[in-house]
């Protein structure tokens, strides 16, 4: 589903968020699809998903392997991810283009690492 109206998008995002989300200082992500591999950067994260700003977001429903490390950690987290919304570039849009990602498969250990990171980082802010 592509959201054209910013108010509709923010309402959906607020309603669907089940986990605490924290703004990230940008960190590198590796996206592996059956067609290609690309590197991107995430700007916020929760134990259930994240946001990747990009001028070329993938299609809603597309699934891929996502690999990343949280800041100041060495453990690589690998998840099966799905695009749940995207926003394409528009000069008139005040929000940056990108895609909202839901973790479809994530180990409980990795989800807990993300929760700990989110909780500890949000306390500092």
> What pLDDT sits at residue 9?
47
Q: How far apart are CA 45 and CA 122, in angstroms?
A: 11
Position 42 scores a pLDDT of 83
From residue 61, give the alpha-carbon distance in Å to each of 40, 104, 112: 18, 11, 25
Q: Tell me: the pLDDT tens digits for 64-98?
A: 999 888 888 889 999 999 999 999 998 888 888 99
Distance CA 101, CA 85 (A): 7
The pTM (predicted TM-score) of the whole model is 0.72
Indicate the helix (H) or strand (E) that contains 35: none
pLDDT tens for the chain, 125 residues: list them. 343 444 444 544 544 556 555 555 545 777 777 777 777 788 888 889 999 988 889 999 999 999 888 888 889 999 999 999 999 998 888 888 999 999 999 999 999 999 998 888 554 54
Q: What is the pLDDT at residue 23?
A: 54
Helix, strand or coil, per DSSP, at residue 118: helix
Which residue segments constitute the domains of the chain, with CATH numbers given? 6-124 (2.40.10.220)
């Amino acid at each position: 589903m592509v959201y054209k109206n910013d108010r509709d998008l923010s309402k959906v995002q607020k309603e669907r968020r089940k986990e605490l989300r924290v703004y990230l200082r940008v960190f590198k992500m590796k996206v592996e699809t059956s067609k290609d591999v690309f590197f991107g950067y995430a700007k916020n994260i929760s134990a259930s998903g994240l946001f990747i700003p990009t001028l070329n977001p993938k299609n809603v429903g597309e699934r891929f392997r996502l690999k990343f490390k949280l800041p100041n950690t060495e453990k690589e987290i690998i998840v099966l991810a799905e695009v749940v919304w995207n926003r394409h570039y528009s000069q008139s849009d005040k929000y940056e283009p990108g895609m909202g990602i839901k973790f479809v498969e994530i180990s409980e250990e990795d989800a807990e690492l993300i929760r700990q990171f989110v909780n500890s980082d949000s306390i500092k802010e």
